[in-house]
Amino acid sequence: MKIGVYGGTFNPPHLGHLAAARTAIEVLKLDKLLLVPAAVPPHKDLPQETPALEHRLAMVEKMADGLQLPKVVEVSQLELERSGKSYTSDTLKAIHDQYPGAELWLLMGTDMFLTLHQWHDPSEILKLAGVCAFGRTEQDGEALFAPQREYLSRTYQAKITTITLPGLVDISSTQLRKLLAQGGGESYLHPSVYGYILMNGLYGTHADLKHLDIPQLRACSYSMVKEKRVRHIRGTEEEAVRLAKRWGADETMARRAGILHDCTKYLELEEQLALCAQYGVELDELEQRAVKLLHSKTGACIARAVFGEPDEVYWAIFWHTTAKADMTTLEKILYVADYMEPNRDFEGVERLRELAYQDLDKALLLGVETTIQEMKDRNLPIHNNTLQAQAWLRGQGVTIED
């Protein structure tokens, strides 16, 4: 088994780290990559604006999730749990003990590689692991790396690989923190990491969450969910905007509702219930036990209370899972967009896509009836609002002919 070990302060983790991790996995054919955020790096004090450990860990976890290789990428808290300075030799010993027989590769950038001989116990480090150094250009690889590579090989019998990261995001964390404090930095960060920074006001960002632009709103929403849901959310946003154009609804509201509609999808039942209590959302007996029915309500609350969305957006999100009688056009649009956005794939989705642009009510009814059928098939209780939506549409003379 080949394990990559990528340590650092990740303050914050940025696209350069992400590209390096991804390339190392490919080039070294790693079975596992451990991202190891450092508590206190041995060679420098952490800058004053450094967020609490818990935040740095959360950001590294977002970056790890962003790599979308859940079986390969893991965040290791080894250095966070250990007191005192984070010496790489100790970390490698611990990993070696945990995975005896594994082939370890220590990943690092140019600057680190060039000072490796000055680290604590380099011979132990180089005995336990091979080194994979990332260069920015081919020249790094040769002119800069060659003397150090030869020195380390000669002195420690080190095993060294250098890889060039084409189009490497060329930014230092110091520059990036400065940019963030000035309101920039977005283009150097994975969206969910950027959203996490904004939502927690890290690095001197003082974003007004109630007046975010669209890319920032997306980033915040994505920071609250797992990476694998982002495609669906983006698809729903785009579908909702297309439907708003087709049916004359407010495009911006459709977009913002789409962006936020599933933002609380991954909260546990207890957190969902706490938010409902906090925002005074009353729940019926089914909702109190069916966690899947709660994210639409809590998502609506967060959209309004945290992101300052208007009532129209609130209600569109609120009803997006069950639907109900007497829906507004925007509510119908979000419900239907969520159902048939381009990433959805189930039997009958094509028919729903056609109907959505021919007759929105028919599409809505088809969605509602598909859910009712699915609930029946899965032996799950059907929510009253879903049944009322069906009765309301049928009462209006809406029909779906085969």
Chain positions contacting Fe ion, by CB under 5 A: 262, 338
Examine residue 383 and tell whether it contacts ligand DGI (CB under 6 A).
yes
Least separation in angstroms between residue 300's CB and ligand DGI is 12
Binders of ligand DGI among residues 239 to 268 (CB under 6 A) are: 262, 265
For 372, the enclosing helix (H) or strand (E) is helix 360-377
Binder of residue 227, out of ligand DGI, Fe ion, none (CB less than 5 to 8 A by kind): none
C-beta of residue 131 within 8 angstroms of C-beta of residue 105:
yes
Q: Which does 380 bind (CB under 5 to 8 A by kind): Fe ion, ligand DGI, none?
A: ligand DGI
Closest CA to 74 of 106, 123, 26, 32: 32
Q: Measure the CA–CA gap between 95 and 115, rounded to whole angstroms.
A: 23
Interacting span for ligand DGI (CB under 6 A) from 135-143, 266-274, 348-356, 373-381: 373-381
Is residue 204 involved in binding ligand DGI (CB under 6 A)?
A: no
| Span interacting with ligand DGI, options 119-127, 144-152, 288-296, 304-312, rule CB under 6 A | 288-296
Between 108 and 337, whose beta carbon lies closer to Fe ion? 337
Please identify, using beta-carbon distances, which residue of 76 and 321 lies nearer to ligand DGI: 321
Round to whole Å and give the CA distance between 191 and 60: 13
Q: Alpha-carbon dihedral of residues 280, 284, 288, 289, nearest 10 degrees?
A: -160
231 binds, among ligand DGI, Fe ion, none (CB under 5 to 8 A by kind): none
Q: C-alpha distances in angstroms, 61 versus 70, 177, 240, 300?
A: 11, 19, 30, 26
- CA-CA distances (angstroms) from residue 49 to 10, 150, 187, 246? 13, 38, 20, 48
Is 221 a binding residue for ligand DGI by CB under 6 A? The answer is: no
Alpha-helical regions (H) of 107-226: 110-114, 122-128, 138-139, 145-156, 173-181, 191-200, 214-223
Tokens 């001989």 locate to 117
17 binds, among ligand DGI, Fe ion, none (CB under 5 to 8 A by kind): none
Binding track over 320-359 against ligand DGI, x by CB under 6 A: xxx---------------x---------------------
Contact between 237 and ligand DGI (CB under 6 A)? no
* Structure tokens, 386: 């879903």
Q: Are 383 and 356 in contact (CB under 8 A)?
A: no
* Structure token digits, residue 313: 């957006």
Residue 290 touches which of ligand DGI, Fe ion, none (Cβ within 5-8 Å per kind):
ligand DGI
d(CA 21, CA 5): 10
Q: Which span (70-78, 156-164, 250-258, 285-293) binds ligand DGI, by CB under 6 A?
A: 285-293
Q: State in angstroms the smallest separation of the CB of 370 from ligand DGI.
A: 10
Q: Residue 293, interface with ligand DGI (CB under 6 A)?
A: yes
Q: Which residues of the chain form contacts with ligand DGI (CB under 6 A)?
A: 232, 262, 265, 290, 292-293, 296, 320-322, 338, 371, 375, 380-383, 386
